Amino acid sequence: MVLKRCEVCINDEGTARIEEVNGRFLCSECIKQLPHLPDPEKVRKELDEFMRGVDRAVLAFSGGKDSIVALHLARKRYNADIIAVMVDHGLMSEKAIENAKAIAEMYKVPLEIMRADFTDIFRDAIRRCESPCSRCSDRTMSLLRQYAREHGFRYIITGHELPFGSSAVRRMRGGIYQIRLLAMMPEQERMEILKRIGVELPELPGYTTNCLVIGVAGKLFCRKYGFSPEHRRLAALVRLGLMDRKRAEEMAKCPEPTKEQWNKVLNKLGIRESEIECLKTGQREFVSHESRGTQNTGGGSGVAKN
Ligand SMILES: [Zn+2]
């Protein structure tokens, strides 16, 4: 049986409900969001305008591709006086930390590395086969906000995209603003900037260029649900016309960490495989992303149906 696919984004019956609307097959998310999509030009114009008033800012720096592009833009396009602050959660790729140092030096931007313990978040996510990303990102932002407040900054620039929502600027507690500098920037443009900078990024499984946990947690999430934790975000980027469908499908494949990465993450977090819920016996067999299209992964739950 072939799964019905959304004609706009990368969702199919394995990840969303598909309906026929005026002769087109669309997923429930496209049906809901297509009439209200923000205008990318408008969002970027507002961002440009806002950035004109930003003299100094904290730049949330992970050493990954998006924050490198954000740093580049903050310096070269907006000429902002920035300090790069990296929150090292303990399971960053070494290459990403090296990259962060090299890029900061290249752009003559001061770099501060804050070490923090995210073990509780990662341990909990991996045991339950869930993604740690949103809790990790919340804690990171909260540490950065604290840093900004203590050092008299009003703005935090991040390399976030804007797959959902329509404003690149968000007011946080304490009167500090988060500026999502990559909002509505097409993937292609980002890749071109990186190419010009000439930075070599680590090859990591999952949609990341800096975090070792994502590949492991993503593999487990895929096992539990049958699709990648990045799937919704990637589908949204395609819907907005910011990412090529083929590339998104490639990025949405279930991550396959090396044995070395798997062991490193589990050892560091002190987790035995027997504690991981979706690896316990009695779980339905996981249907890999590659084999989808011929098999039914069954609704949003990802549990295989026969
Ligand atoms: Zn869709």
Q: Quote the CA–CA distance of 200 and 90 in Å, as a whole number.
A: 22
- Which amino acid makes up residue 120? D
Q: How far is the CA of 9 from the centre of ligand 1 (A)?
A: 4
Q: How far is the CA of 7 from the centre of ligand 1 (A)?
A: 7
Q: How far is the CA of 220 from the centre of ligand 1 (A)?
A: 24
Q: How far is the CA of 29 from the centre of ligand 1 (A)?
A: 6
Q: Quote the CA–CA distance of 54 and 268 in Å, as a whole number.
A: 40
Q: Are residues 53 and 182 in the same domain?
A: yes
Domain assignment present for residue 102? The answer is yes
- CA 178 and chain centroid, separation: 16
Instruction: Express each pLDDT in 151-199 by its tens digit.
Output: 999 999 999 888 787 789 999 988 999 999 999 999 899 999 999 998 8
- Which amino acid makes up residue 102? A
Q: Are strands 111-115 and 81-88 parallel, antiparallel or unpaired?
A: parallel
* 178 and 170 Cβ atoms separated by less than 8 Å: yes
CATH number at residue 116: 3.40.50.620
Instruction: Express each pLDDT in 115-153 by its tens digit.
Output: 999 999 999 999 999 999 999 999 999 999 999 999 999
Instruction: Express each pLDDT in 24-80 by its tens digit.
Output: 999 999 999 999 999 888 999 999 999 999 999 999 999 888 999 999 999 999 999
Q: Provide the domain limits for residue 261.
A: 203-287
DSSP H or E run through 81:
strand 81-88
The total number of structural domains in the chain stands at 2
Q: Are residues 129 and 215 in the same domain?
A: no
Q: How far is the CA of 66 from the centre of ligand 1 (A)?
A: 25
Domain assignment present for residue 20? The answer is no
Q: How far is the CA of 152 from the centre of ligand 1 (A)?
A: 43
Q: How far is the CA of 204 from the centre of ligand 1 (A)?
A: 27
Q: Structure pTM? A: 0.86
Q: Are residues 280 and 254 in the same domain?
A: yes
Q: Quote the CA–CA distance of 167 and 169 in Å, as a whole number.
A: 5
Domain assignment present for residue 299? The answer is no
